[in-house]
Amino acid sequence: MPKMKSKSGAKKRLKVLGNGGVKRSMAFKRHILTKKTTKTKRQLRGTVMVHSTNMAAVRAMLPYA
């Protein structure tokens, strides 16, 4: 039986932590930043955890993580 492959995009964008959670970066911070307020851009910095409702999809994308 062949091995399952991980999604390449998910490998690059998500980090699985030791406690089983998954860390991700914030969206909407790549371009068209001139019309966004400084407060909005500041709040988009850093990383957050993947929400529990999306964990099943993330597990399917990263089967061995």
- The torsion angles phi and psi of 52, rounded to 5 degrees, stand at -60, -30
Rounded mean pLDDT, 46-57: 97
Provide, for the chain, the percentages of residues in helix, strand and coil under a 3-state DSSP scheme, each rounded to the nearest 5. Answer: 35, 15, 50
* Whole-angstrom distance, CA of residue 44 vs CA of residue 42: 5
Give me the mean pLDDT over the 38-57 stretch: 97
pLDDT digits 0-9 by tens, 14-46: 999 999 999 999 999 999 999 999 999 999 999
> Can you tell me the mean pLDDT for 1-9?
95
8-61: which CATH topology?
Factor Xa Inhibitor (4.10.410)
CB-CB contact of 21 with 50 (8 Å)? yes
Position 65 pLDDT exceeds 90: no
pLDDT at 1 over 90: no
Angstrom distance (rounded) from CA 51 to CA 37: 25
